Structure 1
Amino acid sequence: MTRSQLRAARALLGWSQDRLSEASGVSLPTIKRLEPGEGSLQTRVETLNKLQTALEAAGVLFIGENGEGPGVRLKKLQ
């Protein structure tokens, strides 16, 4: 997950940093430290897993590098 993907995922859901903190169990100061800038998130694997699990549970799909860069989108409603 990149910093841009983290910000974009939160924006797609309309979540504040506080809401992501509550959903993931990652502290608000950690989220505030991770989001700014570009590139990969530099943190513990456990923290990445918590963030990704919370965002995916809310409907976010992470798109890996596919020739046009990584991204995010919401799951298709069925």
Structure 2
Amino acid sequence: MSILKVSIRQIKAARALAGWSQEDLAEASGISVPTIKRLEAADGEIGGRPETGAALVAALEKAGVEFIAENGGGAGVRMRKRSARGKR
């Protein structure tokens, strides 16, 4: 199983889709606002400790964001479809 490489641009786009501020992401992920600001000031893949990136991605996925891997069509993000049986 390969680990999904997530870029800072995907994190920013995911926050926008979720309607979250940096403060909202900090609260949901347990990562400090200054750390999120520092990471988002850069470009490329998420820097810092792997656990930090994993916490950010997990919080955004819990909010309904799906990260799309680079697969020839370009990396991206989208909101997950809600199931027809019931909303979670």
The bucket for the TM-score relative to the shorter chain is over 0.9
**1:63-74 matched pairs, under 5 angstroms:** 63-74=68-79
Which stretches of structure 1, 4 residues or longer, exceed 3 Å deviation after superposition? none
Larger radius of gyration: 2
| Cα root mean square deviation, aligned | 0.9
Stretches of structure 2 that go unaligned for 5 or more consecutive residues are: 1-5, 84-88
**1:1-78 matched pairs, under 5 angstroms:** 1-78=6-83
Which has a greater percent of helix? 1
Q: Number of residues paired by the alignment? A: 78
- Identity rate of aligned residues, in percent? 56
TM-score normalised by length of structure 1: 0.95
Relative contact order higher in (CA < 8 Å, ≥ 6 apart): 1
TM-score normalised by length of structure 2: 0.84
Partner secondary structure for residue 52 of structure 1: helix
